[in-house]
Amino acid sequence: MSWKITVLAPRDVVQAALIAHEDVFDWDGDIVIAGSEIAEDRPDDWQLEAWFDRKPTAADRAAIAALFVDGMPKPVVEKLPETDWVTLSQAGVEPIREGPFHVHTPDYAPLEEPGVRDFVIPASLAFGTGQHATTAGCLAMLAHMKAQGVIVRSLADIGTGTGLLAFAGLYLWPHARALASDIDAVCGPVMALNADTNHVPLGDGPGKLAMVIAAGTDHPLIRASAPFDLLIANILAGPLVELAPDFADSVVPGGSVLLSGLLTTQEPAVRAAYARAGLRLAARLTRGDWSVLWLRRRSHGRIRASAVGKLPEWSRRW
């Protein structure tokens, strides 16, 4: 990306713009946007950033401005060095610990502690190094599910990015059949390289991971492999709502769906969509402004929801 537009605004204003972005069906896929705190000690001061591979046109600026209902604050438009913004933003990030997992870039050494699974995830074009609160929260929830006695013989990670959550699932349930997919073709070689680096066997069978490029569950291998005991989707609230019926049909009765990528303000809409599809909340946790939800498909028994209060809070904010 060679150009960027930055808009400084209060947190609620930026979050509202991000939600508005999800409702734009004809959004230009070449414009990548994100919202974040300006600094950890200023939690209410946020920025919305939009990256372009071209100089922003008047139409591009209008598209960003339209996300702000009460008018967009004055934007800052700048040309960036010719580099990959995702890699740059993730380079040199500190390792994290979540449950039994230690996730780090190649710049850091593994912990090599008993009971700790090290994952080396280089900064890359694919989302999911573990540094984002949603990815880290999913790692924590997976560990909680394992501790609660959840049995997984088959799992799918939809929107896998780097493959990290699928790798984590296979570590916790090493005899499961696993499948990882993403809509973005760039994730294919990234997932394969990360699997090789982390000694995750690829293929179709117990203890192995198959990888496909697909939108949602729209792939012959996903359909043939379903229903799963566990489906993971760390994407965005809009697609989560839209895919609720498909995800519900893709898990066994009593099976689990792990969702993230949604703001806490978006949680009611997401939970309502999955309730209509026959899933009920088993547990939830929040990391800053983000929610992580463990849902289960109805079987003959009743599911009792709980908060995962003992899980450590995410100490860094995106």
d(CA 213, CA 133): 25
pLDDT tens readout for residues 25-42: 788 877 888 888 888 778
Whole-model pTM? 0.72
| Topology adopted by domain 3-82 | Alpha-Beta Plaits (3.30.70)
pLDDT at 303 over 70: no
Cis peptide before 239 (omega within 30 of 0): no
Mean pLDDT of the chain, nearest integer: 85
pLDDT tens readout for residues 88-98: 444 446 788 89
pLDDT at 236 over 90: no
Find the length of the chain: 318
d(CA 93, CA 187): 20
pLDDT tens readout for residues 150-159: 999 999 999 9
Architecture of domain 89-307: 3-Layer(aba) Sandwich (3.40)
Portions of the chain given CATH number 3.30.70: 3-82
Return the bridge partners of 140, or none.
none
Portions of the chain given CATH number 3.40.50.150: 89-307
pLDDT at 228 over 60: yes
Q: How far is CA 213 from CA 161, 189, 242, in A?
A: 10, 11, 19
Q: How far is CA 313 from CA 140, 195, 285, 316, in A?
A: 10, 28, 9, 9
Average pLDDT over residues 275-282: 96
Percent of the chain with pLDDT over 70: 86
